[in-house]
Structure formats: structure tokens, C-alpha cells
């Protein structure tokens, strides 16, 4: 895989670690956004939106969230010898915790 530039003077391999960190935080933020959206939808009730739109969005969110949670569980497996089925709750908690420290991609003063 080629060099994507990185910061001037960055040690070889550090750009890949930085990219992995940014990617992991973005995935955690996305998973947390999905959880927040569904928690709000459950609290608000069905509302006036067509059910098929909700079903389509739920299916998309479910696929993304499942992929992110599976990846987090696999990463956690490098530090936790328990079977994947026994550590998924810990993986979910790690995702939520990471999302809390992940910077908002739109940041202050950026259009949303």
C-alpha cells in the first residue's frame, strides 16, 4: 500500500496508526449516532412518517451497526480471550466510550 503523505517528518508506519485511530473513532461515532437516533425514535413513538421509510432506514442502520460492532468485538478479542459471544457487551461499551471522545466531524462553526 502506498504512502498517502501523512504529516511532514512523520515516522514510517505512524501514518497508518493515525489513520486506524481516525477510522476507529469515526466508526464509533457512527455507531453512537445510530443508537441515539433509534433511542429517540423509540421515545417519540411512530409519528407521522411512513413505516416503510423507517423500515428501510432501520435495515441500513442495522447493517452498519452490526458491522461496526463485529469489528469492535474482533479488535477487543486481541486483548480479551473470551469467545466473541461473551464479549459483545464489552465491545458495545467500548464503542460508546470511544464515541464520547471522538471529535464531532462537523466541529464548531461548520455547517451541518
Tell whether the model's pLDDT for residue 85 goes beyond 90: yes
Query: What's the pLDDT at 82?
Result: 94
Q: What is the pLDDT of residues 25-38, one digit of tens each?
A: 899 999 999 988 88
Mean pLDDT along residues 95-107 = 78
Mean pLDDT along residues 76-103 = 90
User: Domain segments of the chain: what residues?
Assistant: 51-102
**pLDDT band at 84, cuts 50/70/90?**
very high
Query: What's the pLDDT at 43?
Result: 79
Query: What's the pLDDT at 107?
Result: 57
Query: What's the pLDDT at 91?
Result: 92
Task: Give percent of the chain above pLDDT 90.
Answer: 36
Task: Output the average pLDDT for the chain.
Answer: 81
Query: What's the pLDDT at 7?
Result: 66
Concatenated DSSP letters for the chain? ------STTPPTTHHHHHHHHHHHHHHHHHHHHHHHHHHHHHHH-STTS-HHHHHHHHHHHHHHHHHHHHHHHHHHTTT--S-HHHHHHHHHHHHHHHHHHSPPTT-TTS--
Amino acid at each position: 500500500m502506498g504512502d498517502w503523505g501523512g504529516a511532514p517528518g512523520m515516522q514510517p508506519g505512524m501514518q497508518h496508526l493515525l489513520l486506524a485511530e481516525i477510522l476507529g473513532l469515526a466508526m464509533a461515532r457512527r455507531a453512537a449516532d445510530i443508537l441515539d437516533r433509534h433511542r429517540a425514535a423509540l421515545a417519540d413513538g411512530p409519528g407521522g412518517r411512513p413505516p416503510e421509510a423507517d423500515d428501510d432506514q432501520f435495515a441500513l442502520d442495522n447493517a452498519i451497526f452490526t458491522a461496526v460492532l463485529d469489528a469492535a468485538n474482533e479488535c477487543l478479542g486481541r486483548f480479551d480471550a473470551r469467545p466473541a459471544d461473551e464479549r459483545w457487551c464489552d465491545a458495545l461499551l467500548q464503542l460508546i466510550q470511544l464515541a464520547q471522545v471522538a471529535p464531532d466531524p462537523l466541529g464548531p462553526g461548520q455547517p451541518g
